[in-house]
Amino acid sequence: MTNEWEACMKLVVIPCGKSKIWKKNPRAGPQKARDAYTGPPL
């Protein structure tokens, strides 16, 4: 049984179809998430 702490430590990755900076500039390197997504808001 999962305790509350273990439940908080799960990482869920949800694929996103939004445009990202690397499509326009493959050499952009690591980016903060707020800067990586260049498409319209969800």
Phi, psi dihedrals of residue 8, rounded to the nearest 5°: -75, -20
Three-state SS annotation for 2-40: CCHHHHHCCCCCCCCCCCEHHHHCCCCCCCCHHHHECCC
Tell me what pLDDT residue 22 has: 92
Burial 10-41 (b: 16+ CB within 10 A, else e): eeeeeeeeeebeeeeeeeeeeeeeeeeeeeee
Q: Is the whole-model pTM more than 0.85?
A: no
Tell me what pLDDT residue 38 has: 85
Q: What is the pLDDT of residues 1-42, one digit of tens each?
A: 566 666 677 777 777 777 889 999 999 999 988 888 887 765
